[in-house]
Each structure stands twice: as structure tokens, then as C-alpha cells.
A and B are shown apart, each in its own frame.
Chain A
Amino acid sequence: MIPELGNFSLILAFCLACLMVVIPMAGVITNNQLWMSLCRPLSSGIWVFMILSFGCLAYAFLNDDFSVNYVANNSNSLLPGRYKFAAVWGGHEGSLLLWVLMLASWSYAVSLFSKGLPQDILARVLSVMGIILVGFLLFMLLTSNPFERTLLNTPLDGGDLNPLLQDFGLIVHPPFLYMGYVGFSVAFAFAIAALLSGRLDAAWARWTRPWTNAAWSFLSIGIALGSWWAYYELGWGGWWFWDPVENVAFMPWLAGTALIHSLAVTEKRGIFKSWTVLLAIAAFSLSLLGAFIVRSGVLTSVHSFAVDPERGMVLLTIMLLVIGSSLLLYAVRAPVVKGIASYTLTSREVFLLINNIILVVATAAVLLGTLYPLIHEAIYGEANRVSIGKPYFDTIFVPLMGLLAFALGFGTFSRWKKTSVDYLKKQTGKILIASVALGIIIPLVVTSEFNISAIIAVILAFWIVFAVLKDIVDKTTNKKSFLQGLKALSLSYWGMQVAHFGMAVIILGVCLTSHYSVERDVRLAPGDSEIIGDYEFIFEGASLEQGPNYQADRAEIRVLRNGEDYITLQPEKRLYFATRVVQTEAGIDVGLFRDLFTALGDERGDGSWVVRIHYKPFVLWIWLGAILMAFGGVLAITDKRYRSSKVVVQNESTATSANNNSKAKLAVES
């Protein structure tokens, strides 16, 4: 009964989505207010039915309803409760349901939080989101329905969830990732609405910014969670592999970051309009590309879903229709008239342009590296397959990010329209010297070795941090008191500074852990030990343990710090009964300034084991930095200029003012 209800809800959501495509758009064309206004109730209806459908599938999992094929393939009666719930999105069909649920949620949110939006714009936006909903719901209903049942000869038990997924990471990583991925559909819909209506202006940018920031923040957390999960779950001690599946989540993020900055220029100065629209289309297109690559099997990867070229064809068709038509619309309708504003060579506009160029080049480079094996095969044939490894991506990506970090310092002080080179020199001179000095001295003193890459990374991190701090100080010195000065700074300013600070933290985390990690694979017999720095890892042997649905070899590794007992780590090697899969559980001691990472290899007879021991400095900062960046994005959304309750009439002249003060520029009535 319940699965049938779930299926029926999906069908109803599909019908409503079809209506949401047609009726509001017809209302726009015929200027029918009623039809246009129907987009709101339609979007809430779709959301309700998607929630219902999701609830039915979750119910089936939690009640061990193995008559539902998807449940039988991805769950098991012995599976702990929270994983039964998370298993809803553990396979292709269920994760698609989650995807569509997220899309419906974003549509509903747009209808809820858009009081300042003209009705015809809202109608167009929701209609476009309806088109995407229709596409994916049709995909689900026709080829990937999670509610298919086997009523005769229902299996007694399920095939179990892949052990690698039986983990906290599965509970959080996909939801955040999908919220982000799918969230770029909103920016996309706004872009299409702008092209269709011909109204591409600063007001449009102001409407689009909060949605873009929200999606970007979610995606930042989603990617960080994925990286963190891979780190502690895969047992390798690595946290980024430039695997195709990772790359396709990262590319929308890179394009999204460029979009955030481009939208700032369009909102403040009314220029870069066509470019911003193109970026919005590109960001969501990259999300669709990601969905395709993960589910089609076109690229071999460590974590793709089970391969099915048929699904690939459907997704490719969706991509062709959605992206193809939007790019066609772009070519035909994007404004070619040059923006009125002019700006000097070291103005804020130019620094944001540099930001965009670097990010777009990075995106293109990652795309090339990800698709290159296909290109090579198309040219040279199947007998000559190649793969692109880490060295390619690192060689391209690291210098580009270095350039970006360097530009960020200057960009922080730049002003709209006109900034003199002398002014910039004056603002940055001292902090540049301080950063270089600290960047050279600190690594040398702490590690007693000269590592140029680490030095550059520390210099850049200090450079960003000092720029952020100095700018805050500069902006508060004219006020009566420091606290008053702080309060006067807008939330969107704080969001920017926090996010940039987060970037400095990530730079430090990534570079320091990459250069100063100590990684050893050693063979230890009981009683043997390995010394890294102040820590001694004593292997006390391994014993057999039983888990709920697995059997494990568990090692005891006693860790001494400066000769004294510090902690005992217990890495495991598990054999899961139902799937016969072998899986390592790492033993990790997490610290703010370093992680101690241990994992078990294989047994070598005579009681000795191959053990992996890593000392990883600052690895936590990678994920802390990502959280800071996401937090910065969220702060920026809460700025009061996005909370206006009346429709605002914008004209171009306000956008060309040279005033750096963001609040004065917008005629907002609140």
C-alpha cells in the first residue's frame, strides 16, 4: 500500500510539474495575472507530494519492506536503523528521488521568499524549474522508479547496503551535496527568466545573489563532507583524489564561486551582465554533467554508481534539451550593448574580472583533465587508453589558486570604478612585507627545513589574513568606538571577509598537510614500534572481533607522546557477511594542529601485520576552512538588503555611482 502511495505521489508531482511549466508561462505571454499567480500554489503542491513520496520510501526501508526491489537491493534486516534511513539515497533510484526532492524544495523556497519579485519574473523562474522537474520526474517514472515491487515470492531479506556506505558520512554527504548541486538550478532559472523577459539589470542580480550564495554554501559543505568521509573511511589517509566523480562536484563549485563574484559586479555596477548569465547557465550545466557522469559509466571512477548506459542516454538527452536550448536562448537574447560604466586598470571591477578569469580557467582545466581520457580514446582508439592522474591537476590548479590568493590581497582594498596604483601600494605595502617575512621565518623555524611551496603557501595565507584584518580596521577607525564601527559593517561585508579568511585557512591546511605529512607503511610484529616525531606507535597485536553484520581483525596500537601514554588507536579490517566485502576502518586521533592516522594492511603470518601510520599536520584545517567559507556565504544572505518586502524599481544610474558604500546604493524600502 505505502509503496503504491509513494509511486502515486510521484505521478501527481509530475502532473503538477507539467502544469507549473505551462500555466505560469502562458500567463506571462497573455498577461493573465491569475495564471501567473498559480505558480506559487503549484510549487507547494509539488513539494508536498515529493515529501510524501520520500516519506513512503523511507517507511518501506524502516519497516524492512523487501517487496520493494530497491529496498531489497540496498538494505538488510540487520542493518542499524539510521543506515536503513540513509539507504534511501544509497543507490541510483533513491538518490534520484532525493535529487528531485531537493529541486522541489528549492522551487518551493523560491515561491516563499520572493515577495519583492515582480510576478512575471517569478512565473518565468518557477516555470523553468518546472521544466527541470518534469525532465527528472519522467526519467524516474520511466526508467528508475524506486517503488517497483516483487509481490510474489518476496525475498526474506535484503542484499545489504554496501559496507563502505554504512557510515555517518552517507547520512550527511549526499543531502548537502545535492542541496548545493541542485540549488544552482535557481540561479539558472533566474538567468533564463532574465533572457526571456529581456530584463537583465542590477535588480536581477540582487534577486539572484542570495539563492546563488545559499547553493554555493551547501555545495561547499557537501564537498568538504565528501572529502572528510573519504579520509577516514577509505583507509588511505588521502582526502582528494581528483577522481572524475569528485571533479564533477568541484566544477560547479568553481563556476559558482565565479558566479558569486560576477553577480557582485552586475549588482553594483550594472556591467558583465551577459557574462554573469552565461556563468549561471554554466554552473547548473556542470551540475547536470555531474549527474550524467556519475550514473552513466562513461568514466571509470572509484565511486560511480552501478553502470547503466541506458540511464546515460536519458540524462544526455535531458542535458541536450535543457542546456542546448538555454545556450541558444543566450546566443539570441543576451545583450550585446556594452555596459555604460568605465573603470580604471586597478579598480575593483578589474580584480573581480581577474577572479573570474582564474576560476573559469581552473574549471576548464579540470574539465579537460576529467574528459581527456575520452578524447584520447576517440582519437587513438580503444587499444590506447590513458588516464589523467593527480600530477596534471595539481600542476594546473595549485598555481592558479596561488595567483587568486595573491590577487585577493590587492582586491580587498580596491574600490569600484577608480583606484589608483599608489593607493593600493600604500594599503598593501606593509602587510606584503610582513607576510613575506613571516612566511619565510615561521616554516624555517618550526620545521628546520626550506620548502619553497610551503613558504609560498604560508606567505599567501598571511597575506589574505592581514588584508582582511587591515580592511576591517580601516573601516572602523572613523567611527566613535571600535564596537560601533564593527556593528556598522554590513552582514554581506562580514560574509565576504569570513569567507576569504576561510580560504586562507584552507590554503594552510592543504599545503601544510601536503608538504609536511609523514606517511609510513611498515610491517610490525607485536611489540614492534614506529617513531614519528614526538610520537611512538607501539603495535600490540590484532584480535578477532564480531560486529552486528561483520567480523573484524582489530589492532591495538598504543601511542606514546614524549615517552608517556597518550592514546590507544584501534584500526580494523572488517569482512561483511552478506556482501563478502573487505573494508578498513582507520584509527584516527583528531587534533587541531595534527591528526594521527593508522590503518591495517594485511596479515603476514607470524602475527605481524602491515600497518599504515600517518602523521598529518593541519589536515583538520581543510574542513574548518570550508565550514568558514560556507558560513561566510550564509552571513552574506542574511544582509538586510535582501529582505525588502516591497517591489523595488531600479534604474541604471544608481548602479554607476562611484560610491564604495554598498548600503547607500540601493533604494530599498523596508
Chain B
Amino acid sequence: MNKRVLLLIPGVFFVAMLGLLLFGLGRDPNMVPSALVNRPLPEFSLPGLELDQTENNLVIASEDLKGGISIINFWATWCPPCHVEHPYLVEISQQEQDVTFIGVNYKDDLEEARLFLEEKGSPFEKIIVDLDGSLGIDFGVAGAPETFIVDSFGMIRYRHVGVINHQIWEETFEPVISRIK
């Protein structure tokens, strides 16, 4: 009987380790890799892109984004994953009427961007032109695509790295959006 009890030791040790790993899973390791979450939108004032005109006099400033929930999507024509997520963005922007999609054309060629959007459709109400990537740096962006959720007070509430599809929209974006409404 004595020896039998000894044989339980590996089992006990294993359960303890499992508990530790469960604890490890419970904490949120890299879900929020941005220092800017729960901070205000960086201030900016940059040219905008208008699709149906050849001359651009539009200027978009960070103030313009307040007063409603914005989805800010950093994208570029040179970024293949952006091509992958584009059709989803178009569909989702048509479905979701209570959020505004803002695109940031990041370190890209204006003409190519315009052509791309005219061909494939645009999910964006406004398009900010970030030619040298300075807005990207302000947001802490390292590549494309990256998408931020900004609430009506201009506070950044969530940051998503990588492509968006319907599943990701439903599982990660919608909960945040309903919380901040």
C-alpha cells in the first residue's frame, strides 16, 4: 500500500504543472501589443485621397475622426495580405452601418492606390495618404495590414495585426465595438 502512494507522485506533479500552464494561458500575452491602446489618437493633419477627382485638395485631421466609432485600416497595394483582406473589408463596411471605415494608404504610390480602389471597390469613407509612413510610426505600425478601432472620443481601443476576415471581425472586432458603443 505504501509503495502505491509513491506511484501517485508523478500524477500530482503533472497536475501542478497543468495548473501552472493554465494560469499562463489565462493571462493575455500578446493580445494587446500596442502602447497606444487606451490612449488618444495621435494628432495629425494629412492629405486625403478622393477617388473621383484628379486634383486633391482634401485635408483630413485627427479631429475629423471624433464623434463616431472609426475603423482605421493601414493598407498598401504592395502588400499581398492587404489584397487578401480587401474583399472582406468591402463586404463588412457595407454590412456595418454604425462604424466608419477610414483607410490609411501607407507608404504607397497614389496612382496605384487610386486604380486599385476604383477597380476593386472601396470600403473606406475617407482615405488618408501617409506617403512617408510618419502616421504609421505615430501609431506604432510596423507593416500592413494593421487595423485600429477608435471610439467617438478619439481614444484607440484595439489594434489588430494581420488580415481581417468575417470570422475575425465577428470574434474580435464586434465584442470591442459593442462594448464601446
* Residues in chain A within 8 A of chain B (CB atoms): 66, 69, 72-73, 76, 150, 152-153, 155-160, 274, 278, 281-282, 285, 292, 296-300, 307, 309, 312-313, 316, 319-320, 323-324, 327-328, 330-331, 334, 336, 371, 374-375, 377-378, 382, 577-580
CB pair B8–A331 under 8 Å, yes or no, is yes
CB pair A577–B29 under 8 Å, yes or no, is no
> A157 is contacted by which of B17, B83, B87 (Cβ under 8 Å)?
B83
- Interface flag for B84 (CB, 8 Å): yes
CB pair A378–B23 under 8 Å, yes or no, is yes
Closest to A152 in B: B87
Q: Check A324/B14 contact, CB under 8 A, given A155-B80, A157-B83, A580-B143.
A: yes
Closest to B167 in A: A148
CB pair B29–A307 under 8 Å, yes or no, is yes
- Interface flag for B78 (CB, 8 Å): yes
CB pair B78–A298 under 8 Å, yes or no, is no
Q: What is the CA–CA distance of A73 and B165 in the complex, to the nearest angstrom?
A: 13
CB pair A274–B11 under 8 Å, yes or no, is no
- Interface flag for B179 (CB, 8 Å): no
- Interface flag for B181 (CB, 8 Å): no
Residues of chain B contacted by A150 (CB below 8 angstroms): 84, 165
- Interface flag for B81 (CB, 8 Å): yes
Q: What is the CA–CA distance of A503 and B2 in the complex, to the nearest angstrom?
A: 40
Q: What is the CA–CA distance of A305 and B3 in the complex, to the nearest angstrom?
A: 42
Closest to A374 in B: B24
Binary interface encoding of chain B residues 58-101 relative to chain A, with 1 for a CB under 8 A from any of its CBs, else 0: 00000000000000000000111101101110000000000000
Q: What is the CA–CA distance of A150 and B78 in the complex, to the nearest angstrom?
A: 21
> A278 is contacted by which of B10, B24, B84 (Cβ under 8 Å)?
B10
Residues of chain A contacted by B8 (CB below 8 angstroms): 331
CB pair A324–B80 under 8 Å, yes or no, is no
CB pair A157–B80 under 8 Å, yes or no, is yes
Residues of chain B contacted by A327 (CB below 8 angstroms): 10-11, 14
CB pair B25–A336 under 8 Å, yes or no, is no
A sample of 24 inter-chain contacts (CB < 8 A) reads A66-B84, A150-B165, A155-B83, A156-B80, A157-B80, A158-B80, A159-B81, A292-B21, A298-B25, A299-B24, A309-B29, A313-B25, A316-B25, A324-B14, A328-B11, A334-B7, A336-B3, A371-B17, A374-B24, A375-B20, A577-B78, A578-B78, A578-B79, A578-B80
Residues of chain B contacted by A328 (CB below 8 angstroms): 11
Closest to A159 in B: B81
Report the minimum CB–CB distance from B19 to chain A (whole Å).
9
> A378 is contacted by which of B18, B20, B86 (Cβ under 8 Å)?
B20
Closest to A313 in B: B25
Q: What is the CA–CA distance of A374 and B84 in the complex, to the nearest angstrom?
A: 37
Report the minimum CB–CB distance from A90 to chain B (whole Å).
15
CB pair B14–A72 under 8 Å, yes or no, is no
Closest to B90 in A: A153
The 3 closest A-B pairs by CB, nearest first: A153-B87, A298-B24, A327-B11
- Interface flag for B180 (CB, 8 Å): no
Q: Check A316/B30 contact, CB under 8 A, given A159-B80, A328-B11.
A: no
CB pair B143–A319 under 8 Å, yes or no, is no
> A320 is contacted by which of B3, B18, B79, B87 (Cβ under 8 Å)?
B18
Report the minimum CB–CB distance from A351 to chain B (whole Å).
24
- Interface flag for B15 (CB, 8 Å): yes
Q: What is the CA–CA distance of A44 and B154 in the complex, to the nearest angstrom?
A: 60
Closest to B7 in A: A331
CB pair B7–A336 under 8 Å, yes or no, is yes
Report the minimum CB–CB distance from A332 to chain B (whole Å).
8
Residues of chain B contacted by A320 (CB below 8 angstroms): 18
Q: 8 Å CB contacts to A: which residues of B124-145? A: 143
CB pair B84–A72 under 8 Å, yes or no, is yes
Q: What is the CA–CA distance of A160 and B143 in the complex, to the nearest angstrom?
A: 14
> A312 is contacted by which of B15, B17, B25 (Cβ under 8 Å)?
B25
Report the minimum CB–CB distance from A275 to chain B (whole Å).
11
CB pair A324–B15 under 8 Å, yes or no, is yes
